[in-house]
Structure 1
Amino acid sequence: MWERESVEKKRILAVEWLAFSGILFSLFGAQFEAMSLGIVILIYIRFHLRYLDKVGEGLTIIKERSAERLHIGESSEWFLTFQNGKYPIKNAKLQLLLSDHIEPSEGEWSVNGSLVEWETDVSLEKYENVTVSIPIRSIRRGKAKVVSVRLRIPHLFGYGDTVLRYNSHLSHSKLIYPEIEKVLFQSLSPVFKSGENLSSHSLFEDLTMPAGTREYRLGDTIQRLNWNAYAKTGELQTNVYERVTEEKMMILLNVSHGHAKNIEFEKLIRQAAFLVTEAHRNNRSIGLAVNVRTKGSPHFYFLPPEKGTSHSRKLLEMLSVLSIGDVTLPSHLVINQLNLMQLQANDVIHIGQMDQASAGRLSKMSGRVWIITGSGGTAVKWNNLQKNIQ
């Protein structure tokens, strides 16, 4: 669990050899006080070397239950709880390497490439639990992780130290959601599909959602009469129900440009994040497909249209972990697979580069197809865009 490395241990061994030599010279010179002092120093060094070989045994880091979710610019605290074994640790230096998605707001820290190095002093008694708190602030989207944990335990007389490096998997992480960039998009609710979303223009009603009563009209069925209202007023009243429709959106995010990543990679992610948050705010079902290759079927990032807090969270988490180094596949293959899956969505919104192969497959998708243009992030209906091009 912990790898041990001793720095400048040879100096302590040299001091031990000098103490042993002093004992021999004192013995031959009949200097028993100096010999006693040398023996005490020798015993102390032996015990200290034994301690350095055993310290860290039984020391563990208690795992976190779940990852915290943050927005960019949000402050929080990162907690690491150490559970010590039978050997106390005194005046050690705790050094953490964190991914640069966050930056500490207190303590000594520095940036080393794509990592942030933070350190503090820590001491642990036998079998003691100690929690170290790191105040942090999120600065960019992604999955912030603890990359490395090291404990530097000083040697006797300050000659070097023993380094304990944690080599087990650390589950401590924080998900930082992407920023949003407004997209001008407005779609009319369909009137010919029944669903769960309220719509005053729909032809369908949800009989489990009463909206009130109105005066009886010729042709109203007996099942719709409100007999309680009739008993109170003596006039026939008809139940009125909420009108509902099906509203499903699907985002197609193309993060590549030819055989490379799109130079507006972050902008595309911010636009997709805006559509997700707006759909959640309006209680609309929304899905996401990204042309980033994965191991499992359908071999790219995909979540079907759903709604709710948990689903919106999954979508934002998917956008959070996208990396410029991800392996992509051609966007038209993603669209073709969605057509084979017979994906049902009222609005399909394409974000990113549009090539000729993708255009031909988009026209086969069910529902209205929208393209996010580069000018002001406006969603233009694909059919209208085709007419303008022609």
Structure 2
Amino acid sequence: MHSFSLPRAGLVALAIGATVTLSACAGGTAPGSAAPASTAPADAATRVALSYPGGILVLDGESLETVGDFSSEEFTRLNSAGDGQHVMVTTSKGFQVLDAGTSAAEPELTDLVFPASKPGHVVTHGGKTVLYADGTSDSTIFDTDALLASTDALPEVQTIPGVEAHHGVSIALTDGTFLTTVGNADGRNGVVAKDASGATLAESADCPGVHGEGTAKDEVVVFGCENGALVYDGGTFTKLTAPDQPYGRMGNAYVSEDSALIVGDYKDDRDAEGYLLHRVALIDTAAKTQRVIDLPEGVEYTFRDIARGPGDLGYILATDGSIHVLDPATGELTASYPVIGAWEGPAEWQDAHPAIKVSGDIAYVTEPAKNAVHAVDLTTGEVVKSVTLEKTPNEIALTR
């Protein structure tokens, strides 16, 4: 691999305080240009990637049989690359590419690594995948499907250097707009939006502790704040104030790109011990409103335990062992599906504890206490498949 300066002045201007570069091997396009035709794998079966201490398992999404087992670092995070076949594995060197395989090809933890200092958030949207490095605040962007056509080298990427390092996140919209968080070693306070020429469209410093993002219908983007949320819509930021002040934190947004409604995790006590939460934020990105609902007593969850699924509903895997179905339009819990045993919150957020991810109508639920994984049909609540593993599952990511 080698790097060279991007010759197009418009994209050079997009860099925030530095020069845009490319790390080149295969073809790619810049934000805002037409994405290449999809080269998604013919085998559309879901694969389930699970981290465990020192390794990663890959399961077939239908049979839950283990089809791959790879050695890795003691703790890794997993995120879908968005192309239906690959998973990004955060390691000490950067984002390592896991090829989860197809019916015709075995899974492989490849030697391909997108270099990054303190690799963090992975965002897939509009045919682009954005990798964020907390150690530099650099954002690496590539065509989501490019990995499918690049089996022995990294695809061409656009790197947008950050200004001051912080735990942040970036997203590229289909019109070329680039949104990225603003902060430094002392904290994070806002978001800036720039167009494809590098000109600032809008910015806001009214989002203390900014964390996470989610894109709803019509490319409206929501960022979580420690006192509410920040909504970006067509060149304008709108601050939504939490009902609890000065601290009412939304940390993660759980979205459907077909719905204007967002579900967010919510914490109302800065000094609360542990990681269990008992309230949920509901945001209407069209009306620009936010409200917070209380969950029934005994129904608690962590950041790993909310997903969106059939009907654009929310699905909360709670400490009582059930998946609770949340209607984000009404704030009502409409059903409850028992799946696993009751569980307690983790002592540290990295510790293995139950998690949920959804593909189509199927939810994949981990049960670390029993080294188990369950597939649940969310249209009926039926557990359609379960498997006991030889390892204790921690992080989970799906290929589709």
TM-score range, shorter chain: under 0.3
What TM-score do the two structures reach when normalised by structure 1?
0.19
Tell me the TM-score normalized by structure 2: 0.19
Between Structure 1 and Structure 2, the one with more strand by share is 2
* Greater C-alpha radius of gyration: 1
Higher share in helix:
1
